[in-house]
Structure 1
Amino acid sequence: MDEPAEIGRRVQRLRGERGLTQRQLAQPDYTPAYVSTLEAGKVRPSETALRFLAGRLGISFEELATGRPAGLATALRLDLTDAQNTLATGTAREAARHFGRLLAEAERLDLTDERAEALLGLGECALESGALTEAAGHFGAAELLLSGEPLPRRARAVRGRAVVHLLAGELRYACYLLESAIDALNAGGLGDPEALVLLYTAVIGPYLDMGARTRAAQAAELALALAPQVGDPALVAGMHRQVARTFLAEGRTADADAALAKAQAVYGQLRLRKDLALCHWMRGYVRAQHGELDAAERELRCAREMLAARRAALYTAQVEVELADVLRRLGRHDEAVELVSGLLEPDAADGGVDAGAVHAGGAHRLLGLIAQERGEPEAAEEHYVRAMSLLERSGADGDLADVCRLLGDLLRRAGRTEAAMDAYRTGLGHRAAAPGTTTLGPAPASPHPAAVRAGGPETRPLPAPR
């Protein structure tokens, strides 16, 4: 509802256009003095009064209260749904054009909620295209627009900002954003189940990349406990896809495959092409862990083709690292090298964001392994050192420790014992603490027990720092 002065001017203008006196407009429920006071902007009219006056003036309550014709907001929300469908089934570029038009319309009509939805959609489009600076701007603008709203309403914007930092290799800050929001949701007692599942699901990836397996497993457990209260099937499917990663970290490959099958079925029904591609990627990883390399190659190639068709640059690059490793294990070294040759430096073209440090580090690690298998220890050492530099600045402690071990083993076999010891010490420095403790801040609080329905899995608090 507009401010009283604006509403008063609108009532006065409409009354004049219809040739009504203040008495004629006021009768039979109100007095001419009330209409005079209202038109002067000296009183904030109640909804009941505005509905009465709107009826007398022959317009809708919405138009009198806001100056906007009835149905515009509803039509815009329907168009936003169409844009979301375009993002799910078409290309990010096409969806971005759609969201951009809707953002301009929402701004013209001064519709805050619809502006925020359009900005969130533009953020998702930019994420998929790998334009991280642009994505951060859209998510930040949406969060600012919703700053006066309850935190559950802002959860998608927070999650979007965290994913931007995750893809940029800034894992610790991604965890900080998500943990802070989780704590704020749980601080007052009952948290919103959908917002909590969204945030717990989002924090699993950075936890695992940092080697914080205990925290990742408990975030997955808490998300699973809240899932029965979530009505959005795509959100639940995304949760299963991330939970599968925790199963893999625990060696429970059959459970991981079952979780991915659940997610894949939902994505197929909803025609969510990007998410379906990510499921093929994860299933390829599961097959590779089982030693089923031919099946892994098929799944990963399918994922790569689907993501490349959508111009999802960062996701495509990450799949290419996984696929190249499978090709290496199949003995097809030249194909593997060719596949990752364009990934060796992070893409800093997007406004200076150091995008892709984690998968660039993964590409150097892979080339180091190939160089070792080809009997080229000097080249292998160069790739391992470069991988360490990239992973250290990204905060991917688990991957960094693994590369330190590979480098230490290489140096030890070459008789360079002191250098090998230095590499091992560096790796131990990123593994010395129990997973998920001192590399992060205090663990986020668990939901209030009443937030989990009776009969759901028992929840335990996330581990506190030692």
Structure 2
Amino acid sequence: MDLARRLSYRRGEEGTVAEKSAGDGRAAGAEGTAEIGRRVLRLRTERGFTQRQLAEPAYTAAYVSTLESGKVRPSEVALRHLADRLGVTYEELATGRSPQDATRLRAGLTDARRTLATGDTEDAAARFAALSTEADRLGFPDERAAALLGLGDCAMETGELTTARDHFEAAEKLLADEPLPRRVPAIRGRAVAHLLAGELRYSCYLLESAIDELNASGLHDPNALLLLYTASIAPYMDMGAHARAVRAAELSLALAPSVDNPELVAQMHRGVARTLIAEGRTAEADASLAKAQELYEQLRLRTDLAHCHWMRGYVHAQDGDLERAESELRIARDMLASKRATLFTMQVEVELADVLRRRCRTAEAEALLRPLLTRSDGDHGASQETVELTAERGAVHAGGAHRLLGLIADERGDAEGAEEHYCAALSLLERTGAAGDLADLCRLLGDLLRREGRLEAAMDAYRTGLGHRAAPGTTTLGPAPAEPPIEGAH
């Protein structure tokens, strides 16, 4: 419970004590007088009672009439009498919450999650929004936090990263007084949203801080730790901190036997695959992705299944099997587009364009890339909102798109166009700290400048690239997070 709510709650308690001491008969913790009156009237009417039948033998019809009109606030004793006569609990009459409400909200959250996993993201967002409002009205903070997490996941799929962060932060605040493991999904959501926005350092900071806090407090919750370590692999890899990524993968594998959530285990296999790809162990990476894919198929998690096809496409591209790479990436793109997962769809299209260029289909690649940097959301009807890869929205892939366009321009002899795209990519990637991508880009720019006879500028580009390759990750990250006492993890 956040500070404002705690203060409000205390004021409510103090007011109730004062009212009881003054003998005015108000019920502790009850809602507004008018709300209670309307509730009594509705329940009495539904059950076919007259005011006299409801009131007797302890009260009069006139008292019930006054209560229903909102002119008097009933005492706790009166509310308990009326609740007993109406066949409901005292809490239901006093607050409007029935024991079934939490069950109904949880069932709704399960349905919304299923919609997000298998159906339309916008439909899922509408369901989560309605559940959040209902949970807030009824005073169920846990269920509201779960709905906010769902809204955050929906916003990430559609690329509304600022909105996603706001939802995750709101969920974390609602759970502020809960143990840290309860807050980890919200922290992980914030970290992934920052990662997608290209804020790699802050993403690492959030995840490492939570890991350290968990370990320092002795809260060695395997589910929470696995979620955090798995999420940390991607920003580590993008920053060039390969040793940390590998260690996070090793710890994830050590934690997996203690985790009974198949979705978390599938996420772990996806994360581990990234480190195996970087080490050139593509067969093992593909096997790890196959395990994740099998679990996602069983769980019917369509977005995550699309991510597996996406990563398998990348694995095949690394192996030089461009035909299979294209097939997997097209499957991933079609699955994500059908769910209107806009940001992820665009990211896959960048990698598909890379495969197409390597297959000497540069016109197709260029036709795929250019709209990603100047796209209008006219396909889905109403909003006409700009939907594109930018510095704040998919910066790493935006840089990748400019890099590919630069390569295409370079290959056809358009040095000016190539330099323009390389510089645009550099500007985007320097904000993210994506060391490996930056080093490669500096090499490409240096080669271009050298061919143009601009040797001093070329040397500057090469030196910049070498700086990004030197001790990757050590200049942007603090000490590695403490490790949990897992048997076999060291």
* TM-score, normalised relative to structure 2: 0.80
Instruction: Tell me the equivalent position of 1:386.
Output: 424
Instruction: Note if contact 2:118-2:302 (Cα within 8 Å) is conserved in structure 1.
Output: yes
Instruction: Note if contact 2:13-2:29 (Cα within 8 Å) is conserved in structure 1.
Output: no
Instruction: Note if contact 1:132-1:353 (Cα within 8 Å) is conserved in structure 2.
Output: no
Measured in 1, the distance between the counterparts of 2:27 and 2:186 equals 33
- Return closer, same or farther for 1:194/1:55 CA change in 2, 3 Å cut-off: farther
Instruction: Note if contact 1:7-1:64 (Cα within 8 Å) is conserved in structure 2.
Output: no
Amino acid in structure 1 at the alignment position of 2:306: A
Shift of residue 303, structure 1, vs aligned partner: 0.5
Does 2:135 correspond to 1:106?
Answer: yes
Measured in 2, the distance between the counterparts of 1:220 and 1:239 equals 8
In the TM superposition, what are the counterparts of 1:35-434 in structure 2 within 5 Å?
Answer: 59-60=88-89, 63=92, 68-344=97-373, 354-433=392-471
Shift of residue 342, structure 1, vs aligned partner: 1.8
Can you list the C-alpha shifts for 1:411-431, whole angstroms capped at 9, x where unaligned? 223332211110011112222
Instruction: Tell me the equivalent position of 1:43.
Output: none
Instruction: Tell me the equivalent position of 1:47.
Output: none
Measured in 2, the distance between the counterparts of 1:18 and 1:222 equals 65
- Return closer, same or farther for 1:112/1:333 CA change in 2, 3 Å cut-off: same
Task: Answer with 424-433 or 178-187: which moved more.
Answer: 424-433
- Return closer, same or farther for 1:63/1:430 CA change in 2, 3 Å cut-off: same
How many residue pairs match? The answer is 427
Can you list the C-alpha shifts for 1:212-259, whole angstroms capped at 9, x where unaligned? 111111111111111111121111101111110011011111110011
Instruction: Tell me the equivalent position of 1:32.
Output: none
Shift of residue 18, structure 1, vs aligned partner: 6.2
Does 2:480 correspond to 1:458?
Answer: no
Instruction: Note if contact 1:358-1:394 (Cα within 8 Å) is conserved in structure 2.
Output: yes
Instruction: Tell me the equivalent position of 1:26.
Output: none
Instruction: Note if contact 1:343-1:359 (Cα within 8 Å) is conserved in structure 2.
Output: no
Measured in 2, the distance between the counterparts of 1:315 and 1:113 equals 29
Measured in 2, the distance between the counterparts of 1:177 and 1:354 equals 18
Shift of residue 20, structure 1, vs aligned partner: 7.1
Instruction: Tell me the equivalent position of 1:442.
Output: 479
Can you list the C-alpha shifts for 1:104-137, whole angstroms capped at 9, x where unaligned? 1111101110110111111111111111121111
3-state DSSP class of the match of 1:440? coil
Amino acid in structure 2 at the alignment position of 1:458: A
Amino acid in structure 2 at the alignment position of 1:211: G
Measured in 2, the distance between the counterparts of 1:345 and 1:429 equals 32
Task: Answer with 58-67 or 68-77: which moved more.
Answer: 58-67
Instruction: Note if contact 2:96-2:138 (Cα within 8 Å) is conserved in structure 1.
Output: no
* TM-score, normalised relative to structure 1: 0.84
Measured in 1, the distance between the counterparts of 2:272 and 2:29 equals 56
Can you list the C-alpha shifts for 1:2-23, whole angstroms capped at 9, x where unaligned? 959476476xx99x9665779x
Measured in 2, the distance between the counterparts of 1:458 and 1:369 equals 43
Shift of residue 344, structure 1, vs aligned partner: 3.3
Shift of residue 67, structure 1, vs aligned partner: 5.4
Instruction: Note if contact 1:345-1:360 (Cα within 8 Å) is conserved in structure 2.
Output: no
- Return closer, same or farther for 1:305/1:185 CA change in 2, 3 Å cut-off: same
Shift of residue 178, structure 1, vs aligned partner: 1.0
Instruction: Note if contact 2:117-2:302 (Cα within 8 Å) is conserved in structure 1.
Output: yes
Instruction: Tell me the equivalent position of 2:68.
Output: none
Can you list the C-alpha shifts for 1:340-389, whole angstroms capped at 9, x where unaligned? 00223699968x98212211110111112222222333322222111111
Amino acid in structure 1 at the alignment position of 2:438: L
Measured in 2, the distance between the counterparts of 1:255 and 1:361 equals 29
- Return closer, same or farther for 1:375/1:393 CA change in 2, 3 Å cut-off: same
Measured in 1, the distance between the counterparts of 2:403 and 2:463 equals 18
Shift of residue 436, structure 1, vs aligned partner: 3.0
- Return closer, same or farther for 1:309/1:9 CA change in 2, 3 Å cut-off: closer
Instruction: Note if contact 2:391-2:428 (Cα within 8 Å) is conserved in structure 1.
Output: no
Instruction: Note if contact 1:9-1:39 (Cα within 8 Å) is conserved in structure 2.
Output: no
Instruction: Note if contact 1:346-1:360 (Cα within 8 Å) is conserved in structure 2.
Output: no
Measured in 1, the distance between the counterparts of 2:98 and 2:476 equals 54
In the TM superposition, what are the counterparts of 1:12-31 in structure 2 within 5 Å?
Answer: none
Instruction: Tell me the equivalent position of 2:22.
Output: none
Shift of residue 61, structure 1, vs aligned partner: 7.3
Measured in 1, the distance between the counterparts of 2:204 and 2:410 equals 35
Measured in 1, the distance between the counterparts of 2:375 and 2:424 equals 12
3-state DSSP class of the match of 2:99? coil
Measured in 2, the distance between the counterparts of 1:152 and 1:428 equals 40
Task: Answer with 438-447 or 318-327: which moved more.
Answer: 438-447
What stretches of structure 1 of length at least 5 have no aligned partner?
23-37, 41-50, 460-466
Instruction: Note if contact 1:281-1:303 (Cα within 8 Å) is conserved in structure 2.
Output: yes
Measured in 2, the distance between the counterparts of 1:7 and 1:163 equals 45
Measured in 1, the distance between the counterparts of 2:452 and 2:316 equals 34
Instruction: Note if contact 1:237-1:266 (Cα within 8 Å) is conserved in structure 2.
Output: yes
- Return closer, same or farther for 1:169/1:349 CA change in 2, 3 Å cut-off: farther
Task: Answer with 393-402 or 248-257: which moved more.
Answer: 393-402
3-state DSSP class of the match of 1:68? coil
- Return closer, same or farther for 1:147/1:289 CA change in 2, 3 Å cut-off: same
Measured in 2, the distance between the counterparts of 1:345 and 1:334 equals 17
Can you list the C-alpha shifts for 1:46-91, whole angstroms capped at 9, x where unaligned? xxxxx9x998996547648965222111111111111111110101
- Return closer, same or farther for 1:179/1:345 CA change in 2, 3 Å cut-off: farther
Measured in 1, the distance between the counterparts of 2:316 and 2:473 equals 27
Shift of residue 312, structure 1, vs aligned partner: 1.1
- Return closer, same or farther for 1:95/1:57 CA change in 2, 3 Å cut-off: closer
Measured in 2, the distance between the counterparts of 1:9 and 1:177 equals 37
Measured in 2, the distance between the counterparts of 1:315 and 1:432 equals 31
- Return closer, same or farther for 1:112/1:125 CA change in 2, 3 Å cut-off: same
- Return closer, same or farther for 1:59/1:344 CA change in 2, 3 Å cut-off: closer
Measured in 2, the distance between the counterparts of 1:300 and 1:308 equals 12
